[in-house]
Amino acid sequence: MTKKTWRCFHCDQVFRSEHQAGIHFGSDEAATCACVLPHEQHLVEHIRDLEAQLDSYRADNVPILKSIMALEGDHRQALLRAEETGYSRGVRDMTAERAGL
C-alpha cells in the first residue's frame, strides 16, 4: 500500500503529511496555496489557524441562525393573526353600530 502524497501544481512541492499539506493548501478549495502568498512560514500557519477558526464560527452559527429565522417567522405569523383579529373586531363593531341605528 502506497502512502498518500499531495503535490502542488504551483510550486511542484510534494507533501507526505496531511497536516503539512493542509498548511500549504488551506482548509478548502477556495483557499490560496501558501506558495502563492507573499509570506513567511509563521504567517501562513497563522492564516490557516484563522481560516480554521472562521470555519468553526460558521459551523457554530448555523443552528443559531436557523433558530433566529424560525423565531422571526413565528413573530411575523403572530403579528398577522393579531392584525386580522383587530380588523375582524372593527368590522364586527361597525356592523353592530349600523344595525343599531
Q: Could you give the CA distance from residue 64 to residue 32 in angstroms, rounded to a whole number?
A: 29
33, 24 in Cβ contact below 8 A?
yes
Cell of 76: 411575523
Tell me which of 71 and 32 has the higher pLDDT.
Answer: 71
CA distance 22 to 36: 15
Residues in the chain: 101
Query: For residue 90, what is its C-alpha cell?
Result: 372593527
pLDDT digits (tens, 9 = 90+) for 45-84: 788 888 888 888 888 788 888 899 999 999 999 999 999 9
pTM, full prediction:
0.41
